[in-house]
Amino acid sequence: MFTFANNIFNQFDSLMPKTGTKKQTGEESKYNKAEVLKDFQIACESREISLLGRREVLTGKAKFGIFGDGKELPQLAMAKVFREGDWRSGYYRDQTFMLAAGILTLEEFFAQLYGDTDQQINPGTVGRLMNNHFATRFIEENGEWMNQTKMKNSSADISPTAGQMPRLLGLAYASKFYRNNPDLKSFNQFSIDGNEVAFGTIGDSSTSEGIFWETMNAAGVLQVPMAISVWDDGFGISVPKEYQTIKGSISEALDGFKQTKDKPGFLIFKAKGWDYPELCRVYEEGIKICREKHIPIIFHITELTQPQGHSTSGSHERYKSPERLEWEKEFDGIQKMRKWILDEGIATNEEVLSIENIAAANAREARKNAWDNFMNPLKQMRDEFLKITDISTCNCSKTSRIQALKEDLAKIAEPIRKDTMSHAKRTLRLICNSCSNPENSLKTNVTKWFDTALSDNRERFSSNLICRDKFSAFNVEAIPPEYDKDSKSVPGREILRDNFNYIFKNNPRVIAFGEDVGKIGGVNQTYEGLQEKYGEIRIFDTGIREATILGQGIGLAMRGLRPIAEIQYFDYLLYALQVMSDDLATLTYRTKGGQKAPLIVSTRGHRLEGIWHSGSPLSMVINSIRGVHVLVPRNMTQAAGFYNTILASDDPALIIEPLNGYRLREKAPSNTGKYQIPIGVPEILKKGNDITLVTYGSCVRIAQEASEQLQDFGIDVELIDVQSLLPFDINHSILESLKKTNKIVFFDEDVPGGATAFMMQKVLEEQKGFYYLDAEPRTITAQEHRPAYSTDGDYFSNPNAEDVFDTIYNLMHDVNPLKYPKIF
């Protein structure tokens, strides 16, 4: 990509050739001709690909399209001040910025539109995301971090409106952390003195979302180098900004966020989206301050247009007035820039025309190349299949039907993988098993081809949900806790605190934050005294803002830090679940391993008290955050061991500390900070021969109590603590237990059909436990409703030891009524 001086004005730039003369006055223009014309060309190319892109969708070559037409000029200005080491967290209108910053090519734009799954050709999202969802790769194939300060970085986009905001906070906070933490000076592949700006972009209507405001407030409080641009085109699909924003203006609405003489805040710049020189000026001015002084900036860019409407799914004539449509034509940024170039005498009409023609030709060529690149392997796949399906030696009754299928497939002018796979499956059904050809080569060849194609496509579309490289938590060595002869029993929270102390002392990249985490060391004092020891920059209090605590963690983790983001109580994770589910959990998958965020989300659960402190809804997370480990330790030693394991890896995880375990005493291990509990490995807490009882977290204690009661009645329970729900029992140890007992019960305090149903599916279906059952498998859960207040409320809402006893006893009664007569 080209590189130009950062300023389009000649006074700052002696490298570029001087320009022509102003039409009206004859005086020499102060603008740099080459740079302006290069920008103009990018704008034109960007517009051309938007126009062509829409056509590709309407003619059926691509499935869906959303484009950046009408938003070209401010993005040129933003790209000028975007340096190596900087970060973008934006949305689907930013193609011009990506092109101008040199982190997207015209061909890549089309490759994404078609859904090309070749990483060389479509490197950002490798066919997994719809078009204009941008990402740069910052992880090597072997899992190592690339040098982020030598690249321009774009964190991977997501579709939910304003979903880019929480992460943006963390990307910006990382600069502050690196600048203010002398221990991290050597980590210069992530930051150079915190000079990196995190650029956000958002549509005017998406600012209506709560997480926009939460992020803005937090950025103002924290004073981080975050520069958010609002592309204001007056609409969110069909809904005008009067319905979206108070006073119909985001900069007016944000007026109270402004920095004043004696109070820190934001600097707010407002500029018209069609005024190229003014846009260049405000971005230059704003970003300089942001970078040097770490003051957050808002660029409210007004009067933008949307020449083709919102997306390929509809037409804007349905909701824009004729006057508005007319206005959009008149105020089209590119036309305005064109006129300005001519008025300024920067170039002649012929020169401008020639640029426009070149841009159109470049766009067309990129489209053609991208289409050929996309289609050739698909045709090749189809042709290979047709070749392999050689029926020349067949004479079965179904041969003609296979021939018909082949002809049908061959006729498809632009076959996709689905066409070939579907024909292959239907062909396989028709190949006879008793072929006269002794080797049945047709069956062998087609099956072999099919298996390979299936596994290729699994890799293509289903790999990288979690990393399996050398930094995977699966590769962390298991190190059990050790105990001295005279090791003392201490409250569980001290075990965690001492473990955190070791972590903070030995790993300068670890940072912990959340509500009440800093000054008082957490509501259960698991960080007691650590802020004084390691500084406010590493262990700190946040506002009550779960979504952005999560996002802050994601952004920090992307920039090489090891955040532990605390959500005070598990039930409050609901506020942050969108961020965790849409952003964190999909990150590795949606970039096919190109990005990662090794974030630990720490919380406490299983409290068994009240509707909003039940700590029980595990199915809420296991079904929405696949891609993140979900660890449910039964005590603080196990919890500490999980922190150590995850920190020894680069995987994201949710660790739910058992809330009723902070005061309970546990023996203090002697190898604090060093023991590592493996993920996905259950522990058998009590051996038994009659029945397998599977549970986790705080339910373990209840299960232990019930197992003792059952023992009195001659029922020998094998008690298994699964410890980790995601991943779940990777070695199938529960199956081994079931093979012995032939009876199984799954127990927790989630709703019926919640995490117990998940465990049951894993054991009975995935591990094939069904074949070893001698009795109906059961689940023990809470009621459908969340738990009522008080101890009685808890007793009648949540499962307790008696419930576990009754369920297991009754199950034994069903199997052997004589030995276990009915109790009630």
Ligand X SMILES: Cc1ncc(C[n+]2csc(CCOP(=O)(O)OP(=O)(O)O)c2C)c(N)n1
Is residue 678 within 8 A of residue 626, CB to CB? The reply is no
Is residue 821 within 8 A of residue 813, CB to CB? The reply is yes
The window from 153-161, 499-507, 544-552, 760-768 that contacts ligand X (CB under 6 A) reads: 153-161
Q: Which amino acid is at 693?
A: L
Residues 74-113 that bind ligand X (CB under 6 A): 93
Residue 595: which of Mg ion, ligand X, none does it interact with, CB under 5 to 8 A by kind?
A: none
Looking at the Cβ atoms of 29 and 311, the one nearer to ligand X is: 311
Q: What is the DSSP letter of 194?
A: T
| Nearest distance from C-beta of residue 231 to Mg ion, angstroms | 7
Residues 211-270 that bind ligand X (CB under 6 A): 231, 233, 235-237
Is residue 64 within 8 A of residue 37, CB to CB? The reply is no
Looking at the Cβ atoms of 37 and 156, the one nearer to ligand X is: 156
Looking at the Cβ atoms of 304 and 780, the one nearer to ligand X is: 304
Is residue 635 within 8 A of residue 658, CB to CB? The reply is yes
Rule CB under 6 A: choose which of 41, 132, 153, 205 binds ligand X. Answer: 205
- H or E element that contains 683: strand 683-686
Looking at the Cβ atoms of 204 and 546, the one nearer to Mg ion is: 204
Looking at the Cβ atoms of 70 and 481, the one nearer to ligand X is: 70
The window from 47-55, 202-210, 609-617, 762-770 that contacts ligand X (CB under 6 A) reads: 202-210
Residue 21 binds ligand X (CB under 6 A):
no
Looking at the Cβ atoms of 285 and 582, the one nearer to ligand X is: 582
| Positive/negative CA dihedral, 140, 146, 152, 154 | positive
Looking at the Cβ atoms of 237 and 396, the one nearer to Mg ion is: 237
| Nearest distance from C-beta of residue 302 to Mg ion, angstroms | 11
Rule CB under 6 A: choose which of 160, 240, 508, 793 binds ligand X. Answer: 160
Provide the 3-class DSSP secondary structure of residue 590: helix
Looking at the Cβ atoms of 29 and 206, the one nearer to ligand X is: 206
Looking at the Cβ atoms of 206 and 779, the one nearer to ligand X is: 206
Residue 724: which of Mg ion, ligand X, none does it interact with, CB under 5 to 8 A by kind?
A: none
Residue least distant from Mg ion (Cβ): 203
Instruction: Provide CB contacts within 8 A for 226, sequence distance 6+.
Output: 168, 169, 171, 172, 197, 198, 200, 219, 290, 296, 297
Provide the 3-class DSSP secondary structure of residue 164: coil
Burial, 675: exposed, middle or buried (Cβ in 10 Å; 0-12, 13-18, 19+)? Answer: buried
The window from 204-212, 370-378, 674-682, 705-713 that contacts ligand X (CB under 6 A) reads: 204-212
Whose CA is closest to 504, among 204, 181, 741, 264?
A: 181
Looking at the Cβ atoms of 63 and 368, the one nearer to ligand X is: 63
The window from 149-157, 158-166, 364-372, 692-700 that contacts ligand X (CB under 6 A) reads: 158-166
Between CA 75 and CA 712 the distance in angstroms is 74
Is residue 595 within 8 A of residue 588, CB to CB? The reply is yes
Is residue 670 within 8 A of residue 616, CB to CB? The reply is no
| Nearest distance from C-beta of residue 47 to ligand X, angstroms | 16
Is residue 660 within 8 A of residue 607, CB to CB? The reply is yes
The window from 25-33, 56-64, 197-205, 750-758 that contacts ligand X (CB under 6 A) reads: 197-205
Residue least distant from ligand X (Cβ): 203
Residues that bind Mg ion (CB under 5 A): 203-205, 233, 235
Instruction: Provide CB contacts within 8 A for 740, sequence distance 6+.
Output: 689, 692, 718
Residue 310: which of Mg ion, ligand X, none does it interact with, CB under 5 to 8 A by kind?
A: ligand X
| Nearest distance from C-beta of residue 75 to ligand X, angstroms | 12
Between CA 372 and CA 364 the distance in angstroms is 12
| Nearest distance from C-beta of residue 132 to Mg ion, angstroms | 14
Provide the 3-class DSSP secondary structure of residue 96: helix
Residue 65 binds ligand X (CB under 6 A):
no
Residue 575 binds ligand X (CB under 6 A):
no
Cα–Cα distance list, 594 to 171, 328, 419, 495, 588 (Å): 17, 38, 29, 36, 7
3-class SS string, 26-64 = CCECCECHHHHHHHHHHHHHHHHHHHHHHHHHHCCCCCC
Is residue 42 within 8 A of residue 100, CB to CB? The reply is yes
Residue 527 binds ligand X (CB under 6 A):
no
Looking at the Cβ atoms of 420 and 548, the one nearer to ligand X is: 548
Residue 199: which of Mg ion, ligand X, none does it interact with, CB under 5 to 8 A by kind?
A: none
Site string for ligand X, 421-460 (x = CB under 6 A): ----------------------------------------
Looking at the Cβ atoms of 306 and 645, the one nearer to ligand X is: 306
Looking at the Cβ atoms of 231 and 575, the one nearer to ligand X is: 231
Residue 649: which of Mg ion, ligand X, none does it interact with, CB under 5 to 8 A by kind?
A: none
Rule CB under 6 A: choose which of 74, 123, 166, 203 binds ligand X. Answer: 203
Residue 160: which of Mg ion, ligand X, none does it interact with, CB under 5 to 8 A by kind?
A: ligand X
Between CA 818 and CA 824 the distance in angstroms is 15
Is residue 656 within 8 A of residue 631, CB to CB? The reply is yes
| Nearest distance from C-beta of residue 203 to Mg ion, angstroms | 4
| Nearest distance from C-beta of residue 68 to Mg ion, angstroms | 12
Rule CB under 6 A: choose which of 29, 206, 464, 591 binds ligand X. Answer: 206
Residue 161: which of Mg ion, ligand X, none does it interact with, CB under 5 to 8 A by kind?
A: ligand X
Maximal CA-CA distance, the chain: 110
Whose CA is closest to 38, among 272, 361, 348, 352?
A: 352
Residue ranges of alpha helices (H) inside 331-437 are: 333-343, 349-388, 399-411, 417-430
Between CA 696 and CA 634 the distance in angstroms is 6
Residue 206: which of Mg ion, ligand X, none does it interact with, CB under 5 to 8 A by kind?
A: ligand X
Residue ranges of alpha helices (H) inside 463-573 are: 492-506, 530-534, 546-558
Residue 56: which of ligand X, Mg ion, none does it interact with, CB under 5 to 8 A by kind?
A: none
- Count helices and strands in the chain by DSSP H and E runs: 27, 22
Looking at the Cβ atoms of 250 and 510, the one nearer to ligand X is: 250
Provide the 3-class DSSP secondary structure of residue 566: strand
Is residue 212 within 8 A of residue 206, CB to CB? The reply is yes
Is residue 737 within 8 A of residue 702, CB to CB? The reply is no
Looking at the Cβ atoms of 237 and 757, the one nearer to ligand X is: 237
Residue 421: which of Mg ion, ligand X, none does it interact with, CB under 5 to 8 A by kind?
A: none
Give 3-state DSSP helix, strand, coil % of the chain, rounded to 5. Answer: 45, 10, 40
Residue 455: which of ligand X, Mg ion, none does it interact with, CB under 5 to 8 A by kind?
A: none
The window from 103-111, 201-209, 387-395, 732-740 that contacts ligand X (CB under 6 A) reads: 201-209
| Nearest distance from C-beta of residue 311 to ligand X, angstroms | 8
Direct distance between the N- and C-terminal alpha carbons of the chain, in angstroms, rounded to an integer: 79
Looking at the Cβ atoms of 546 and 650, the one nearer to ligand X is: 546
Residue with tokens 């700190």: 540
For 12: left if phi > 0, alpha if psi spans -120 to 50, otherwise beta; the answer is alpha
Residue 159: which of Mg ion, ligand X, none does it interact with, CB under 5 to 8 A by kind?
A: ligand X
Residue 159 binds ligand X (CB under 6 A):
yes
Residue 310 binds ligand X (CB under 6 A):
yes
Residue 319 burial (CB count, 10 A): 15
Looking at the Cβ atoms of 203 and 769, the one nearer to ligand X is: 203
Is residue 744 within 8 A of residue 738, CB to CB? The reply is yes
Residues interacting with ligand X, by CB under 6 A?
Answer: 93, 159-161, 203-206, 231, 233, 235-237, 310
